[in-house]
Amino acid sequence: MDMKTFGYLYYKARGYEPEAILREAELSEEEYNFFEKNLSTVLAEIEECRPQAEKIGTDFVRLTRYIYERESDQSMNFTRPDAVKVRAGELVALPAIGKIEMPGITLQKAIEQRRSLRKYSDQALSMDELSFLLWASSWARDFRSNERMEITLRNVPSAGARHPLETYVDIRRVEGIKPGLYYYHPIKHCLVLLDASEAKAIQIFEGCMRQEMIGTAALNIILSAVPYRTVWRYGQRGYRYLYMDAGHVGQNIQLASEAIGGGSCMIGAYLDEAMNDALGIDGVEEFVIYVASVGKKCSD
Ligand SMILES: Cc1cc2nc3c(=O)[nH]c(=O)nc-3n(C[C@H](O)[C@H](O)[C@H](O)COP(=O)(O)O)c2cc1C
């Protein structure tokens, strides 16, 4: 879904008059008429879901109490989910973990100076810096696999060590790596090129509702969740943990960004449909959960 389609649906479903929809969603009359003709089923679905959507938060918190849990898929010996996804594509090696120069900034300093940074300099990140960010947020320091259980252990905590998050990097300015959308393999510590087109970069910018920092960042880290990895063990309560896990990863991205003389901004305002589509994921078995823009600080 692009911003125009979203804009039409958003304002139409809220009962705006046609002129207001044209203005707010920045539509031409032709675009408006096209949407009027083609989006009536989507609008009907929005209407139908709205009563449920209006109270889903309270229902979610109530119905994911332990008291309602049935026996988990894990305890019923359902096939274990894999710990990591496999994405095919051209591989890009990253500086090995033990070899990267870790920045000298203290933890106290990193925490003290952390702010959401939304303006970046034109400076590219080095491969060492990228490697460091991924080490801090997503790298698997251990991998254990047998028939009954497969886990990774990382530099962030995760409920039951399920680590349901996958990491994608929308690279715009990193020395030695061509711009494009990459998947990060947390065990092999390498990138897999998914799409190097300009159109993909635009889709991600649009998907994040044209927030300026997405377009000016040196890179954007897009985190997705594979819920069944956690749900297999915790049932529906596992959905709570996905968001907690994402918070830990986000904080390490923020602190690691400070440590490399840069900064980051965590982003929760994105269009689910557009971002899931950008990564080629279905939005159910895997969905985008959090985004972070990262770049160097401006000198002024
Ligand atoms: C879950 C979450 C979602 C956020 N989403 C956005 C966003 O979409 N756009 C944005 O500009 N900032 C976003 N932020 C950044 C907050 O606006 C920011 O953390 C807050 O204003 C406090 O400022 P500080 O981080 O500089 O202390 C988000 C932060 C969090 C934790």
CATH of the domain at 118: 3.40.109.10
Q: Measured in angstroms, how far is the CA atom of residue 270 from the centroid of ligand 1? A: 12
Kindly state whether residues 151 and 25 are assigned to the same domain: no
Top mutation candidate among 243, 253, 267 for ligand 1, by most atoms within 8 Å of CB: 267
pLDDT at 190: 98
By the 8 A CB rule, do 154 and 138 touch? yes
Q: How far apart are CA 103 and CA 272, in angstroms?
A: 35
- As for how many domains the chain has, the answer is 2
Quick one: 120 and 208 in the same domain?
Answer: yes
Alpha-carbon dihedral sign for residues 65, 276, 115, 131? positive
CA 299 to chain centre: 29
pLDDT band at 274 (very low <50, low <70, confident <90, very high): very high
In this structure, how many other beta carbons lie within 10 angstroms of the beta carbon of residue 297? Answer: 17
Sequential DSSP letters for 122-149: SPPBPHHHHHHHHHHHT-EEEEEE-SS-
Residues 22 and 150 in one domain: no
Query: Do residues 123 and 30 both lie within one domain?
Result: no
Q: How confident is the model at residue 100 (pLDDT cuts 50, 70, 90)?
A: confident
pLDDT over threshold 80, residue 205: yes
User: For residue 228, what pLDDT is reported?
Assistant: 98
User: Considering all CA atoms of the chain, what is the largest pairwise distance in Å, rounded to the nearest integer?
Assistant: 61
How high does pLDDT run on average in the chain?
96
In a domain, 161, yes or no: yes
pLDDT of 255 higher than 80 = yes
Give tens-digit pLDDT for 17-38. Answer: 999 999 999 999 999 999 999 9
CA 11, chain centre distance (Å) = 26
Q: What is the CA radius of gyration of the chain?
A: 21
Does 141 lie in the same domain as 18? no
Confidence of residue 103 (pLDDT cuts 50, 70, 90): confident
Per-residue model confidence (pLDDT) at position 84: 96
- For residue 69, being part of any structural domain is answered with no
Residue 115 CB–ligand 1 contact under 6 Å: yes
Contact status, residue 126 vs residue 100, Cβ threshold 8 Å: no
Could you tell me if 173 and 127 lie in one domain?
yes
- Is residue 38 located within the same domain as residue 87? no
Q: Of 215, 207, 203, whose CA–CA distance to 119 is shortest?
A: 215
Verify that 85 and 47 share a domain, yes or no.
no
Nearest to 273 by CA among 199, 221, 206: 206
pLDDT digits (tens, 9 = 90+) for 121-161: 999 999 999 999 999 999 999 999 999 999 999 999 999 99
Provide the pLDDT for residue 286. Answer: 98
Starting at the edge strand found earlier in the chain, the sheet holding 180-185 runs 91-93, 190-195, 180-185, 165-171, 219-225, 287-296, 262-267
Q: Which of 213, 243, 265 to mutate to test the pocket of ligand 1 (most atoms within 8 A of CB)?
A: 265
Token pair 């300026």 is found at 212
Residue 103 DSSP SS3: coil
Q: How far apart are CA 235 and CA 66, in angstroms?
A: 10
State yes or no: pLDDT of 102 exceeds 90: no
pLDDT, residue 299, reads 84
Q: Would you put residue 154 in left (φ > 0), alpha (ψ -120 to 50) or beta? A: beta
How many A from CA of 33 to the centre of ligand 1?
A: 36
Reported as a pLDDT band with limits 50, 70 and 90, residue 1 is confident
* Confidence at 98, pLDDT banded by 50, 70, 90: confident
Pocket test for ligand 1, best of 118, 257, 266, 272 (most atoms within 8 A of CB): 266
Q: Please tell me the predicted confidence (pLDDT) of residue 282.
A: 98
Do 110 and 242 share a structural domain? yes
What is the Cα–Cα distance from 241 to 235, expressed in whole angstroms?
11
Is 242 close to ligand 1, i.e. is its CB under 6 Å away?
no
Q: Whose CA is nearest to atom 2 of ligand 1?
A: 268
- Cβ–Cβ under 8 Å, residues 137 and 165: no
DSSP 99: G
265 lines ligand 1 (CB under 6 A): yes
